[in-house]
Amino acid sequence: MASDTKDPNRRDFLVVAGNTFAAIGAASLIWPFIAQMNPDAGALALSSIEVDLSPIKEGQAITAMWRGKPVFIRYRTAEEIEAAKKVALDDLADPIARNENLKDPASAPATDQNRTIEGHEKWLILIGICTHLGCIPEGQKISDARGDFGGYFCPCHGSHYDTAGRIRKGPAPRNLDVPVITFITDTKIKIG
């Protein structure tokens, strides 16, 4: 006590330092408890698949599963490609390409060319998840509703996509995403 009266603040440093370290220690322990919920190594390991395109005829489509998500693969008809090419960029709700395969996916314009893989424009390959709230749009089957623009239609809240998978009408904010694709041969692709 005597020393306290001489220099009453001397011990504050110890108290503050001790509490600070305890607080930092406790706080850094929170991270593992939060991070454990992130996708685990097993989920990350599923990150690429190969798909054979040879059985698909013009006008047909198949759905592959990649990372638990459907991937729409559509062999577009000449009319569908033509319709997508004719659209002026000003008419697009989302003018950005959203194509992971481009050098600048966040700024390239959403032309039909930028929505596909160079040299393979007849193939439309998309993550088949509505960018609104995650439903699977219709349009893969011939009998499906394809919306006002002939591409895909999401029945959940009424989003219409065109034949390049671009959002044209409804609440979805973005064009359907184009995943990372590598053409191994002309009829075989790797997704992811």
Partner 1 sequence: MADHSSTYEPKSATAKWWDERLPIMRLLSDQMITFPTPKNINYLWTFGGILTVFLLLQLVTGIILAMHYQPSAAEAFNSVDNIMRNVNYGWLIRNMHAVGASMFFIAVYIHIFRGLYYGSYKAPREILWILGMLIFLAMMAAGFMGYALVWGQMSFWGVTVITNLFSSLDGIIPGLGTAIVEWLWGGYSVSGTTLNRFFSLHYLVPFVIVGLVVLHIWALHMTGQNNPTGVEPKTEADTVPMHPYATSKDLFAMFAFFLMFAWFVFFLPDYLGHPDNYNPANPLVTPPHIVPEWYFLPFYAILRAIPDKLGGVIMMFGAIAVLFFIPWLDRSRIRSARYRPIYKWFFWLLVISCLALGYLGAMPAEEPYITWARIFTAYYFAHFLIVMPIVGVLEKPKPLPASISDAVEGGKSSSGASAHKKN
Question: Given the rule CB under 8 A, which of 2-10, 110-118, 148-156, 182-190 is the region that contacts partner 1?
Answer: 148-156
The residue type found at 108 is: A
Contact between residue 83 and residue 163 where contact means Cβ atoms under 8 Å apart: yes
Question: Given the rule CB under 6 A, which of 22-30, 35-43, 60-68, 132-140 is the region that contacts ligand FES?
Answer: 132-140
The CB density around residue 74, as the number of other CB atoms within 10 Å, is 24
Question: Given the rule CB under 6 A, which of 93-101, 111-119, 126-134, 181-189 is the region that contacts ligand FES?
Answer: 126-134
Work out which of 61, 62, 69, 113 binds partner 1, going by CB under 8 A: 69
DSSP lists the bridge partners of residue 116 as none
CA 93 vs. chain centroid, Å, equals 17
Partner whose footprint covers residue 90, from partner 1, ligand FES, none (CB < 5 to 8 Å by kind)? none
Residue 94 CB, shortest distance to ligand FES, in Å, is 14
Residue with tokens 């939060």: 34
Give catalytic status of residue 160 as yes or no. Answer: no
Contact between residue 131 and residue 176 where contact means Cβ atoms under 8 Å apart: yes
20: left (phi over 0), alpha (psi -120 to 50) or beta: alpha
User: Could you say whether residue 147 binds ligand FES (CB under 6 A)?
Assistant: no
The alpha-carbon radius of gyration of the chain (Å, integer) is: 26
Tokens of 129: 């998840």
Residue 136 CB, shortest distance to ligand FES, in Å, is 9
Q: Which residues are catalytic?
A: 157
Where does this chain bind ligand FES (CB under 6 A)? Answer: 130, 132-135, 154, 156-159, 170-172
Where does this chain bind partner 1 (CB under 8 A)? Answer: 34, 37-40, 43, 63, 65, 67-70, 129, 132-136, 154-158, 171-173
